[in-house]
Amino acid sequence: MTAIIGATALAAALIGGGAGAAIVGLTGGGSAGAAATSSSVTGQTVSDATSSGDVSAVAAKVVPSVVQVNVTTSQGEAIGSGVILTPDGRILTNAHVVEGAQNVTITTSDGKKYQASVVGSDTKGDIAVLQAQGADGLTAATLGDSSKLVVGQEVVAIGSPGGLQNTVTNGIVSALNRPLSDVGGNKQQQSPFSRQTSNGTSAPSYTAIQTDASINQGNSGGALVNAQGQVIGINSALYSPSASANGSAGSVGIGFAIPINDAKTIVDQIVNG
């Protein structure tokens, strides 16, 4: 089975085995997503500061701004990642990470844990906003400009694949404006927790950054950053030419991220209505 799988890791105890995340078809063509930015997304101001591009330097800057997201649902537990937007605990993640959440806990890079609530989500854009309770002094990420990306540019992915927090991988931008959409018709689509639908109304649909930086289940909602340590995408899905029936899959060097400009627009809509 060839599939696009949202990169959320589910615990083995998940009832029914559960898919790793939404599985949709991959189609060609399409245009770039919205590139508007919003003042309500209060990540640190982007500057023109330069960097050597060394991965260790990028990791040192960005790892403190990426959290692990643990979610409990009626069907089991899931693990994803998130990006800190504000020092008081506003977190950006994927909608499929928190779908059906009954309890959400975030863990910062230094091991501190906070309960979190879901402020809102957009399933089509696969973006959600969390609020960590009682958080203060967190390290907000620096948000970049995804409209300035070029194919071949070096990028770094940070998240919690398989629950391995603070994992760093690197690669390049393999393609831009890659449309992810369901195949339509009566072909079954599979949601993050094995609920089946006969149409594409609940499947994510967005235009993605394609990267060969290793993205695996658990990376969903984590940061894709440039050589200056600016977040330019939210890791969201991986391509699997041989995904198993329960959605398990590993990286084959084809991963996808939601452009940060699109994510900022959606966050503004969620926060400000």
What does the pLDDT read at residue 48? 37
pLDDT in tens, 83-135: 999 999 999 999 999 999 999 999 999 999 999 999 999 999 999 999 999 99
Sign of CA dihedral 210, 212, 218, 221: negative
Phi, psi of 270 (to 5 degrees): -70, -45
List the structure tokens of 268. Answer: 């503004």
CATH architecture of 3-272: Beta Barrel (2.40)
Whether 220 is a known active-site residue: answer yes
Whether 96 is a known active-site residue: answer yes
| Per-domain residue ranges of the chain | 3-272
What does the pLDDT read at residue 252? 76
- Of 13 and 44, the structure prediction assigns the larger pLDDT to 44
Whether 126 is a known active-site residue: answer yes
pLDDT in tens, 147-173: 999 999 999 999 999 999 999 999 999
Categorise residue 137: left if φ over 0, alpha if ψ from -120 to 50, beta otherwise.
left
Which residue in the list 109, 122, 126, 262 is annotated as catalytic?
Answer: 126
Cβ pair 6, 126 in contact under 8 A: yes
Which residue in the list 65, 146, 181, 220 is annotated as catalytic?
Answer: 220
- Of 80 and 197, the structure prediction assigns the larger pLDDT to 80
Cβ pair 213, 246 in contact under 8 A: no
What does the pLDDT read at residue 214? 93
pLDDT for residue 15 is more than 90: no
Across residues 5-16, what is the average pLDDT? Answer: 42
Q: Which band of pLDDT confidence, cut at 50, 70 and 90, is reported for residue 56?
A: very high
Which residues are registered as beta bridge partners of 168? 158
- Of 64 and 185, the structure prediction assigns the larger pLDDT to 64
pLDDT for residue 34 is more than 70: no
- Tokens 């540019």 -> residue: 153
Which residue in the list 96, 121, 182, 191 is annotated as catalytic?
Answer: 96
Across residues 167-187, what is the average pLDDT? Answer: 75
What does the pLDDT read at residue 144? 97
- Of 190 and 179, the structure prediction assigns the larger pLDDT to 179
